[in-house]
Amino acid sequence: MKVALDTNILAYAEGMNGVEKRDIALELVRRLPQQATVIPVQVLGELFNVLTRKGGRSRTDARESQLGWRDAFPVIETAPDVMLTAADLSTAHQFGIWDAVILSVASHAGCRLLLSEDLQDSFTWGGVTIVNPFAFPRHDLLESLLVIGDDG
């Protein structure tokens, strides 16, 4: 099962929004199977913006964070057809365009889950279910992925 990460997961793992969220996000990304986890390229751009604007980090530090995440998990590009699908998704379901891009990329990459605190929890589109990994109890699909990830 493949999973995509939204910006807030990476931002929290980088220490944004407090120690509690950081610890949960770090525990989560450590337990996810690396070969089954992807990052939409849009997320890396948003992360850079969050780290510099809200986090007060230098552009150099934000760039280093981007590179670290790129090295940790495969990055999925946004193709023209994905962008058009995202516009349809945004129109039909009232998503912001950049959130729709992330969901569309996850769908086109064959993901079953998109981990996000910001998007509509349990919304399913294009074979992808949005799951808030900070909600407890954890969604069954996420829990099964983490158990598989723990087994190696």
The domain spanning residue 99 has which CATH number? 3.40.50.1010
User: What pLDDT was estimated at residue 149?
Assistant: 54
Torsion angle (degrees, nearest 10) of CA 55, 69, 90, 104: -170
Residue 107 — very low, low, confident or very high, per pLDDT cuts 50/70/90? very high
Please check the confidence at residue 126 and state whether its pLDDT lies above 70: yes
Gyration radius (Cα) of the chain, Å: 15
DSSP per-residue letters across 30-81: HHS-GGGEEEEHHHHHHHHHIIIIIS---HHHHHHHHHHHHHHS-EE---HH
DSSP output for 97-125: HHHHHHHHHHHHTTEEEEE-SSS-TT-EE
**pLDDT band, very low/low/confident/very high, at 101 (cuts 50, 70, 90):** very high
Number of domains in the chain: 1
Q: How confident is the model at residue 144 (pLDDT cuts 50, 70, 90)?
A: confident
Whole-Å CA distances, 121 to 10, 68, 71, 132, 133? 18, 27, 28, 6, 9
Task: Kindly tell me if the per-residue pLDDT of 9 is higher than 60.
Answer: yes
pLDDT at 151 exceeding the cut of 80: no
Q: State what percent of residues in the chain have pLDDT above 90.
A: 82
Model confidence at 148, pLDDT cuts 50, 70, 90, reads low
Q: How confident is the model at residue 141 (pLDDT cuts 50, 70, 90)?
A: confident
Return d(Cα 109, Cα 46) in angstroms, integer: 19
Q: Is 129 helix (H, G, I), strand (E, B) or coil?
A: strand
The reported pTM is: 0.92
> Do residues 53 and 20 touch, judged by C-beta distance below 8 A?
no
Per-residue pLDDT at 2: 96
pLDDT number for residue 124: 95
Give the domain range for residue 96: 2-151
CB atoms within 10 A of CB 42: 24
121 vs 107: CA distance, rounded Å: 16
pLDDT over 90 at 43, yes or no: yes
Q: Could you tell me which residue, 67 or 147, shows the higher pLDDT?
A: 67
CA 99, CA 114: separation in Å to the nearest integer? 11
